Structure 1
């Protein structure tokens, strides 16, 4: 990987993205084609292709595409994303795309092409199962967390990394869209009028809003480990024998349970959506059972791997004290359940929805399942301390 500086920022055209790849010699072929394939909210994404080789050129825009230039965003998130991928590659190189080039001025990262994979959300909506997904995400979350925690790093190195991954603008998006706006009558919220009675009931639930506020405070203040920060099924590429975590531009130091909570929430939303997407009853049950097993295996893999690393590699003197690991994992699990509840609610009535539910063409069915999601999310937030095992969590999802 090399890093270069350009004179000034400008949004790339297809031709400029192609020229950049040619000039860097990242593809040896001379005849290339390029297309802009980005469908996200924050970036341009170009695929530059030869006959036998291809790469992805990702460029941050100085505003949110979903809103427009009235919502400016820092270009430094491109540096944070590439640094997070490079850092993760130290510990889970098989679970992230290889970074080939970065340019902090152009806010560009060039990385390996993952066209042989499918976005996990799309594959799961189609009722596909991926045998490695749960284990890989559990390993990813455990290793990237432990190796950036105070249990492993020298305090000076930990604090240096916290500064390097300070990400206030992207964190503010999460603070607003996940933890704040969905719990108030805010203009960013987006839901059909048919759901208004359910949403207004949520807004008026004092216990729910108090507990959501406490979870937000944890997000704001607990710089425990380096997080992906946006670990949903749209940020994961999958195929039968491979999992790749992408798009860590929201990376920052936060509470240990946050990434796991986001991931299991999105699997839970897909579970609900399968009431529609899996039309045949037997196939539906099989698909939904596999989704619940994915949730359970993800947590158990995370717990086992984090515990192994904690016992074998921790440098903190108190790590050997009885109860330290157990209490940490208990808190992390409770937090993850609460964070999952917030994610479920915000993906249902907030600004950024999920295709799992929004792709359901029958509005009556979509609204019915979204009501289920709102009730599930609210219940998880309010009663997270009483959910003490991952099986209890999946039982809640099954009973939603």
Structure 2
């Protein structure tokens, strides 16, 4: 369906389906026969698609064709449209475009780009990437910089340009081949980057290229002085625009992908597509909502100092009741297209720039999971600061700045989210129909309840993310970089105790200022 607001067509059709020419809302109907016959490249493409047996290729190309038929793209744009949808098929251009196969024969099936020579060969074969380097390959500097849990990430820098290549591999990198993981996560990451980038272009890096066969994304290189936010916080750095930027990103991406903005038809279609990211959702279900609360081979903690604390989590029945509710919400509530892993390692910053990366866990889920994950990681950073303090820097100023940032982030997010709601209250969103919620007093009541529920969801999910980072499988560098194990455990214990309290008592908190005061009270 063509979305008039986003300007995008996002259609899927079953194998063998006949697509009727249906005018998009607000657009003049166009003859499908005339649209197809007017461009030889489209005719050729259409005939070859009809002969294909591969469902994904046929579906993708049909989506491109329907866009041509509705006049949303011209025939010249078919190749770009199909590229963006990730089909590694051969596509014919017009007389002004060279006939080209996406990828060389060497890349017709998945293979890791494990060395520089192979990487250069791939870039040369891909115009969307080679053009970003000025087609200059003699002086390329290629570095593997992936320090995450799942993927390989390469920075490619030349005299005429730069880019980043990210490739998904079929297992969890931090565990090894014993824990398989779908490579299809790269597709959902690309979809989320493009959707969120459309909604908030100032805070999402541009995607240049996606290859579904190679499970590979080419995107903008966030050049120095950009660094991972988590590393900046560990170093005690402050970022004055962080709250402004992150509140902007979360407000726009969450509001504009929710039923407050979309029709139920558009929303269900989008939900259905992202349901395909089920393996990464199941991974989150396991490592966030299950493993920390039972004996698991993957759990770890700072032993022996936290042995009793880890056992206490496993024996806390009240905590288990609360996390069960949060897990159900995570699995069942398709509120908005969430990033799915929005921690301080998924944000790159300078003093004037904030960029959100790595949305491979993206799906339609509860808004509070994104907001909570981000704020929960800021709280972890706060509790880690004592472990990094020394005679030269007691980290007092940094801790105060983190607390201010936590408060400002939520307050700005709430203000911007409600402002978007008010701006579009007469729009297509079907959550609260204007014919029913037709006076300002009622609308304010609805908004107050919505934001209160979202606030409590945020605290619950944030606390779950904190707990799993202390007694689960994947920890955070904020604590792990504290060399003295006893000192590290003291910091982790304070964070863990606060997180347990926050999860169980989250409904008692009425404002973010109450949460900040509770953090300060932890001794």
TM-score normalized by structure 2?
Answer: 0.74
Name the residue aligned to 1:21. 123
Identify the match of residue 108 of structure 1 among 201, 205, 216: 216
**Contact kept in structure 1, 2:171 and 2:181, CA below 8 Å:** yes
Match of 1:351 among 458, 461, 473: 473
Q: Aligned pair 1:177/2:287, yes or no?
A: yes
Residue equivalent to 1:30? 137
Contact 2:205 2:219 in 1 (8 A): yes
1:104-125 per-residue CA deviation (whole Å, 9 max, x = no partner) reads 1111000010132000000000
In the TM superposition, residue 155 of structure 1 has moved relative to its aligned partner by 1.3
Q: TM-score, normalised by structure 1?
A: 0.97
| Structure 2 CA distance for partners of 1:291 and 1:280, relative to 1, 3 Å | farther
Counterparts of residues 82-231 of structure 1 (less than 5 Å): 82-116=190-224, 117-166=226-275, 167-191=277-301, 192-231=303-342
Tell whether the 8 Å contact from 1:310 to 1:319 is kept in structure 2 after alignment: no
Q: Is the 8 A contact 2:209 2:217 kept in 1?
A: yes
Task: Tell me which residue corresponds to 1:390.
Answer: 512
1:308 aligns with 2:419: yes
Alignment check: 8 A CA contact 1:17 1:46 kept: no
Could you tell me how far apart the structure 1 residues matched to 2:437 and 2:201 are? Answer: 27
> What's the counterpart of residue 374 of structure 1?
496
Secondary structure class of the residue paired with 2:305: helix
Rounded to whole Å, the distance in 1 between the matches of 2:516 and 2:347 is 21
How many residues end up aligned between the 2 structures?
Answer: 400
- Partners of 1:285 and 1:145 lie apart in 2 by 33
- Could you say what secondary structure the match of 1:187 adopts? coil
Q: CA deviation at 1:319?
A: 5.4
8 Å CA contact retained: 1:47, 1:55: yes
In structure 1, runs of 5+ residues without a counterpart are: none
Could you tell me how far apart the structure 1 residues matched to 2:396 and 2:305 are?
A: 28
Q: Deviations over 1:283-328 (max 9, x none)?
A: 5221111000111111011101110111111333155543211111
Cα pair distance change 1:141/1:17, threshold 3 Å? same
Q: How does 1:63-74 map to 2 (within 5 A)?
A: 63-74=171-182
Matched, 1:234 2:345: yes
Question: Cα distance 1:11–1:70, how it changes in 2: closer, same or farther (>3 A)?
Answer: same
Q: Which moved more, 1:314-323 or 1:32-41?
A: 314-323
Question: Which has the higher mean CA deviation after the structures are superposed, 279-288 or 24-33?
Answer: 279-288
Contact 1:18/1:48 (8 A) holds in 2: no
Kept after mapping to 1: 8 A contact 2:384/2:492: no
Decide which moves more: 32-41 or 362-371: 32-41
Q: Provide the rounded CA distance (Å) in 2 between the counterparts of 1:395 and 1:18.
A: 53
- Distance (Å, rounded) in 2 between the aligned partners of 1:289 and 1:234: 21
C-alpha distance in 1 between matches for 2:322 and 2:305: 26
Q: RMSD of the alignment, in Å? A: 1.5
Deviation at residue 151 of structure 1 after TM alignment: 1.1
- Please tell me whether residue 247 in structure 1 is matched to residue 358 in structure 2: yes
